[in-house]
Structure 1
Amino acid sequence: MSDERLIHLAEAAGLSIDWVDADGRDQRARPEVLRAVLAGLGLAAETAADIDASLEKLHLNNRNASLPPLLTGDQGRGLDLSAYFPPATRFSLQFENGEYRDAALDGDAQLPAIEVPGYHRLEIDDRQVTLAIAPPSCPTVNELAGEGAWGLTVQLYSLRRPGDGGIGDTQALESMARNAAAHGADAWVSARCMRCSANT
């Protein structure tokens, strides 16, 4: 049996087949791993007939899927809505900045590429959904604060201060931020708080 059909099923089920490891090496999930994960999802993949049946099951499930309240997409890339709407379905898109676009899905039921990152409101077929469109990469500290700027990132719970009970808290975070600013830091990011602050 060709692994191509197995990979097609895995991708249709939303599995990531290829990735780059921490050493920068390209990796691919082994067929036996894909079969085990697919089986855990209720999608048999031991034989070609299993794969065909599982693909049909996915197709039927997708056709009956309800539209989630939030869809994510990438800036500058189309968004496949074929699981929810037929091709050429009309839509109205309200951008985060208040502008509107009225258009239709293409022949593959793809939403045309959105060039503006942010949270936008899509109205389509009497339904509404929020679109979260992400830029291709995060801005760098230099882009935000200027050339030569630098900053720190910290996991909140890794910080320590006297009397914190053994885990970091916002008082420890405040102390770290003030100390960093005193040493000339232009920004800090706390992964737990998901906040940024410029040196003031």
Structure 2
Amino acid sequence: MAQNYRIYISDNTLLIAEFLPQQVEKIQQLEIQDFDLQTFCKKLAKNSKKTYIFLTKNPKQTFKKLKKDSTLIKAAGGLVESAEKNYLFIFRNKRWDLPKGKLEKGEKMSETAVREVEEECGVKIAKLGEKLCKTYHIYPLETKMIIKKTNWYKMTVKGEPKLVPQKEEGIEKAVWLNSYEIATVVQNTFPSIIEVLKISKLIK
């Protein structure tokens, strides 16, 4: 079975798949021939939340073509659970988010995830669990288009330590939220974070 790709551009979703997914919302089909990622991103209406798709027999090859003119940045982050069964969230750039950051030279993705969570929230990770998923996010940087690939991991801490948000990284607050309070996050977060929460079965 071919691997499908789900790429986020702000609040828009770009799918690369063999078949149309079974979903209610309208999907606009795109053609890869003569497709220019930068032009496409510029034309996206501000605050739009649309889904686009490349239907292809070889999603991997189409994704490769899309990556060719972009710069790939690798990052990693974590969904942290406390002993009280609460989850760690940060508030940055007026939205709820999960702690994450860029891969440093010589690091494994799992090491990056742990380091970034510890730095951004002032906690000590007791156990690194399974890899939950990877997400892709596209954004412009000067004249280039960046594709950020983020690996997400399950993590736990001992007890429920006090959190210290890393202000220099623009993090306004770091909090522990229970499964009911996560509904607040869903109303004001990124599509990639919703994907992580769905895979973790914290939301449907």
TM-score by length of 1: 0.26
Structure with greater strand percent: 2
> Which fold has the larger relative contact order, with Cα–Cα distance below 8 Å and residues 6 or more apart in sequence?
2
Looking at CA atoms only, which structure, 1 or 2, has the larger radius of gyration? Answer: 1
Structure with greater helix percent: 1
TM-score by length of 2: 0.26
